[in-house]
Structure 1
Amino acid sequence: MITEVSAVNFRQNLGDMLNQVQYRNDSIVINKDGKPVAALVDAELFARIRRMQERFDKLSDRISEAYAGVPVEDGLAEIDAAVAAERKRP
C-alpha cells in the first residue's frame, strides 16, 4: 500500500511510519506544499530499484556507444519505427 503524508505529519509520526514500511512493506510518499518530494520504501525494494538503475545505465551507455556516429534524426526515426513495430505485435 502507498500512503501519502505531509512533511509535517511525517516528522510527527516517523516511528510509526518506519514500522509501517518495515513490517507491512508499505511505501510512503512525503509531500511538501502538496507536491511529492520524497518516498520511504523498504530496504529490499530500494536495493531492487538500485540494481534496475544500474542495469538501465549500462544499457543506456551501450545504446549511446552504438549510435555515436548516427545523426540524431536517424537514430530517433529508427527508435520510433522499432516502437511502432513492437506495439503492432499481438
Structure 2
Amino acid sequence: MIKETSAVKFRQNLGEMLNQVQYRHDSVLINKDGKPVAALVDVRLFDRIRRMQGRFDAICDRLEAGFSDTPEAEGLAEIDAAVAEERAGHSKQSTD
C-alpha cells in the first residue's frame, strides 16, 4: 500500500512510518508544498529497483550504440510511426 504524507507529518511520525515500511511493507510518498519529493520504501523493493535500473541503463546503452549512425530525426520519426501503429491496433481490437 502506498501512503502519502507531508514532510512535516513525516518528520513528526518517522518511527511509525519506518515501522509501516519495515513490517507491513508499505511505501510512503512524501510531499512538500503539495508536490511529491521523496519516497520511503522497503529495502527489498529498493534493491529490486536498483537492479532494474542497472538493467535499464545497460539496455539504453546497447540501443544507443546500435542506433548511433541513425540521425535523431529519423529515429524519432520511426518511434512515432511505431507508436501510431500500435495505438491503431489497440483501437481496432477494442472495436472488434
- TM-score between the two structures when normalised by the length of structure 2: 0.84
SS of structure 1 residue aligned to 2:28: strand
Aligned-residue offset at 1:85: 3.8
**Quick one: percent identity of the two aligned structures?**
68
CA RMSD of superposed structures (Å): 1.4
Structure 2 distance, partners of 1:7, 1:48, is 25
Aligned-residue offset at 1:77: 1.7
SS of structure 2 residue aligned to 1:4: strand
| More displaced stretch, 36-45 vs 79-88 | 79-88
- Partner of residue 8, structure 1: 8
Answering whether residue 79 of structure 2 is matched by residue 56 of structure 1, we say no
- Partner of residue 76, structure 2: 76
- May I ask how many residue pairs the two structures share in their alignment? 90
- Partner of residue 31, structure 1: 31
Residues 25-81 of structure 1: per-residue CA shift (max 9 Å, x gap): 100011111111100000011111111111111111111111111111111122223
- TM-score between the two structures when normalised by the length of structure 1: 0.89
In structure 1, runs of 5+ residues without a counterpart are none
